[in-house]
Amino acid sequence: MKDFVWLIPTLPLAGFLILSLFKSFIPKGLSGYLATLAVVSSFIVVLNWFIPALRGELTPFTWVAWDWINLGKYHLNFAFQIDVLSIWFMAIITGIGSLIHLYSIAYMHDDDGITRYFSYLNLFIFSMLILVMGSNFVVLFAGWEGVGLCSYLLIGFWFKNNAYNDAAKKAFIMNRIGDLGFLLGMLLLFMHVGSLDYTTVLEQAPQVFHKNAGLITVITLLLFVGATGKSAQVPLYTWLPDAMAGPTPVSALIHAATMVTAGIYMITRTNILFDLAPITLDIVYYIGTATAILAALIGLTQNDIKKVLAYSTVSQLGFMFMALGMGAYSIAVFHVTTHAFFKALLFLGSGSVIHAMGGEQDIRYMGGLRHKLPITFITFLIGTLAIAGIPPLAGFFSKDAILAVAFEHSPIYWGIGVFAALLTTFYMFRMFFLTFFGSFRGSDKQKEHLHESPLLMTLPLAVLALLSFGGGFINIPHVFGGHQWFSHYLNQKSLVPLLGESSISVTTEYILMAIALILVMATILFTYISYVKKHNIPSADNSESTTLGYKLSYNKFYIDEIYHSIIVKPLHIASDTVFSFIEKYILDGIVKSIGLGVQKAGSGIRHIQSGSTNTYALFMILGVALVILIQIVL
C-alpha cells in the first residue's frame, strides 16, 4: 500500500504536465474536467490513509522517493512522511482543492486561457502537497517555493494588466523575504544537528539545544520569519490583499486550502523546537495579535468584496498565530481547518456574486442580491455566521478554543481576542448586509444580468456550507460534554502536544462564552441597524468629512506607501549612487588611471601601443615564446 503514496502528488503533477504540454490539442471545455479528475483522484488516494487515520489506525511511515542531494556525510532524500498531521493537511488540500477545481470549470468557462489556468491550479496542488508531505525541511522548502511560483503565475494570470503583474511580483518577493529567514534557520539547524530530517532533528533537539538558549531562539525566530512571509503576518502581510488580482477561485485556493496555511503547518510540525524557545513563542503571539487587530481594522472600511475577505484572512491567520504563540498547536490547526471551510465558501460565494454582477466587486454597487441569488445568499450567510463565531457553526468552536486558551494566559489576552472577533463580525456583516440586503444599487444592465450561478458553482458552495456548519463538531470541548476529538487525533504518537487540563472552571468558561456571544450578537444588530435599517452606504468619495481613524483604515494605514518610501525608494537611490559613484567613478577611474600611468611610463615604446588588440595578442604570443626560449637557453 505504502508504495502508492507517490501517486498523491504525481496525479496533479501529471495533470499539470498534460495540460501544459498538450495545451493546443485539448478542447477548452475538457481541460477543467481533466484537472478536476487529477485532484479528485489524488483525494481518493489520500482517503486510503485518511480514513485509517481518523479511526486512529494509521501507522506513520516515511517513503523515500530517491536520494536527492548528496552532501557527503549526509544524504538528503526526496522523501514523504505520512502521519496524522500531514494526512490531515493533504485531505484539506485535495478535498477543498477538488471543490475549487469543480467550481472553476463553470467560473472560468469563457476565459481564453482556461487550459493554462487549470494547469497552474494543478501545479499549485502539487506544490502544496510536496510542502506538507516532505519528510525533511528541504522538501518542505521545495513545496514552499513551489507555491510561491504558483501564486505568482495565478495572481498574474491576466498578464496584460500590469497592476496584476505587480501584485504577482509583490507576492513572490514578499515571500522571498520570508524564505531567506527560513533558509538561514534551516542552515543553522543543519550546522548543529547535522541532519534536516524531521525525525532526526525533532528527536535530537532536546539534547542538542538547551531550553531557552539563544541558539534555539534564533533558529525558531528565523523559521518564523519564513512563516510570516508565507502566512501573511505583520510585517510581510501586504502581498495577500493584493493577491486578489487573480481569478476569484484562486483566492479561495490561496486563502483556504493552500499557501497561507503553510506557516502554521511548519510551526506545528516543528513544535518541539518552538517549545524549547518560549521567547519565540511570545513573539509569535504578539505578531499574531498585531496582525489580527491591524488587518481587522483595515477590513472595517474596505468596499471591495474580495478585499474585505482578504483582510479577514490576514486577521484570521493572526488568530492562528496567537494560538501557536500560546503553545496551542492543535487548536491552531483546528482553526486552519474550520477556516479552510468557511473561507473557501466565502470566496467562492463572492465569486458567484461577482459572476452575477458581471465583474463588479464594489459592495457599494450591490444590494438586495438575496432575491436573485438565493443559494449563494444562504451559503454566504452560513459562512458569515461561521466566521463570526455563532454557535454551533464551525468558527464558533475553533475561535472559542483560542479564546479559552487566551484567558488561561491572561484575561487581557482574552479581551484582545474578543475585540478582534468583534471587529471581524462588524466588517463581515457590513459586507454581508450591503451585498444581500437593501435595494440594488448597480446599473440597470447589471440588474438584468443578475442570475444564480450554475450547479457546478453552487454544488461546491453547498458542500462547503455543510462543512462550515458542522466542521466544528470534530473538537467539541469538555464544557459541552465533548472530548476534543481533534486534539487527541493530532496527539497520536505525541506528534502534537495536548493542552494541559484547563485551569478555568466550567462556570467561568460559560460566562466568558456568554459575554463573547452577547457582544457578537450586539455587533450584528448594530451593523443591521446601520446598514439595513438606516441604509448607510459608504460614500463614493472618502476624502471629505471623514475622521482620521476612518482615513487611516481606508488607506490601510499607508503601510504600502511607508514600505515604498523606506525600502523600495532608498534601494533604487542606492543602486543609482553605487553605479555612478563607485562603479563608474572610483573603480573605473582607478583602472583608467592605471592605464594612463602605463601609457606615460611607456612613452618610449609608444609606437607599439597601436590600440589594436591584434598587435597586443601578437606580442603576448611572442612573450610566451620568449619566456620559453629564455628557459631553454638557461
Partner 1 sequence: MITTFLIGFPLLAALFVYLSGNKLAGKVAVIASLLELAAGISAFLDFNPIIIWNFEQRIEWISNLNIEYYVGMDGISLVLVLLTVLLLPVILITGLLSKLKDTAAFYSLALLMQSALIGVFTAKDVFLFYIFWELALLPIYFICLQWGDENRKATTFKFFIYTLVGSLFMLVAIIYLYLQTPDHSYSMESLYSLRLDSIDQTFVFLAFVLAFGIKMPIFPLHTWQPATYTSAPTAGTMLLSGIMLKMGIYGVIRWVIPITPIALESYGCWVIIAAVIGILYSSILALQQQNYKTLIAYVSIAHVGLIAAGVFSASFIGIQASLIQMFAHGINVVGIFLIIELIVKRTGTLELSKLGGLRHQAPILNVFFLIIVMASIALPLTNGFVGEFMLFVALFQYSPILTAIAGLTIILGAVYMLSSFQKIMLGDVNPNYSHVQDVTLGEALTLVPLIALIIIMGIFPNIVLEQTEASVEMLLQSMQKTVSSIN
Question: Which residues sit at the interface with partner 1, rule CB under 8 A?
Answer: 20, 66-72, 78, 138, 141-142, 145-146, 149, 152, 156, 159-162, 165-166, 169, 172-173, 176-177, 179-180, 183-184, 187-188, 190-191, 571-572, 574-576, 578-579, 582-583, 587-588, 591, 595, 611, 613-614, 616-617, 620-621, 624, 627-628, 631-632
CB of 610 to partner 1, least distance (A): 11
Closest to partner 1 by CB, 55 vs 160, is 160
Best CA proximity match to 249, nearest among 109, 72, 100? 100
CB of 40 to partner 1, least distance (A): 25
Best CA proximity match to 305, nearest among 252, 371, 234, 258? 252
Best CA proximity match to 278, nearest among 333, 213, 331? 213
Grid coordinates belonging to 92: 484539506
Closest to partner 1 by CB, 412 vs 586, is 586
Closest to partner 1 by CB, 141 vs 427, is 141
3-state class (DSSP) for residue 362: strand
Contact 137, 28 (CB under 8 A): no
Contact 214, 243 (CB under 8 A): no
Give the number of residues written for the chain: 634
Closest to partner 1 by CB, 142 vs 378, is 142
Radius of gyration of the chain (CA): 29
Best CA proximity match to 326, nearest among 373, 292, 367? 292
Closest to partner 1 by CB, 52 vs 113, is 113
**What is the C-alpha to C-alpha distance for residues 122 and 153, in angstroms, rounded to an integer?**
12
Question: Looking at this protein, which amino acid is placed at residue 449?
Answer: H
Grid coordinates belonging to 160: 496584460
Closest to partner 1 by CB, 47 vs 177, is 177
Closest to partner 1 by CB, 514 vs 590, is 590
CB of 150 to partner 1, least distance (A): 11
CB of 143 to partner 1, least distance (A): 8
**Kindly report the CA angle at 6 between 23 and 15, in degrees rounded to 5?**
10
Closest to partner 1 by CB, 562 vs 582, is 582
* β-sheet bridge partners, residue 304: 362
List, in sequence order, every beta strand (DSSP E) within 340-472. none
Biggest CA pair distance of the chain: 108
Best CA proximity match to 45, nearest among 83, 84, 10? 10
CB of 6 to partner 1, least distance (A): 13
Closest to partner 1 by CB, 134 vs 471, is 134
Closest to partner 1 by CB, 77 vs 338, is 77
**What is the C-alpha to C-alpha distance for residues 410 and 429, in angstroms, rounded to an integer?**
29
Best CA proximity match to 83, nearest among 152, 132, 151? 132
Residue 362 backbone zone (phi > 0: left; psi -120 to 50: alpha; other: beta): beta
3-state class (DSSP) for residue 195: coil
Q: Is the dihedral of CA 420, 426, 428, 431 positive or negative?
A: negative
CB of 173 to partner 1, least distance (A): 5
Closest to partner 1 by CB, 20 vs 530, is 20
SS3 sequence of 478-498 = HHHCCCCHHHHHHCHHHCCCC
CB of 89 to partner 1, least distance (A): 19
Residue 492 CA neighbour count, 13 Å, CB half: 20
Burial class (CB in 10 A: 0-12, 13-18, 19+), 591: exposed
Best CA proximity match to 145, nearest among 169, 188, 175? 175
Burial class (CB in 10 A: 0-12, 13-18, 19+), 57: exposed
CB of 135 to partner 1, least distance (A): 15
CB of 603 to partner 1, least distance (A): 17
Q: Is the dihedral of CA 372, 376, 377, 378 positive or negative?
A: positive
- The total of other beta-carbon atoms located within 10 Å of residue 83's CB is 21
Closest to partner 1 by CB, 61 vs 190, is 190
The DSSP letter of residue 504 is: S
Residue 557 backbone zone (phi > 0: left; psi -120 to 50: alpha; other: beta): left
CB of 434 to partner 1, least distance (A): 33
Closest to partner 1 by CB, 543 vs 614, is 614
CB of 464 to partner 1, least distance (A): 32
Closest to partner 1 by CB, 176 vs 441, is 176
CB of 175 to partner 1, least distance (A): 9
CB of 121 to partner 1, least distance (A): 17
CB of 631 to partner 1, least distance (A): 5
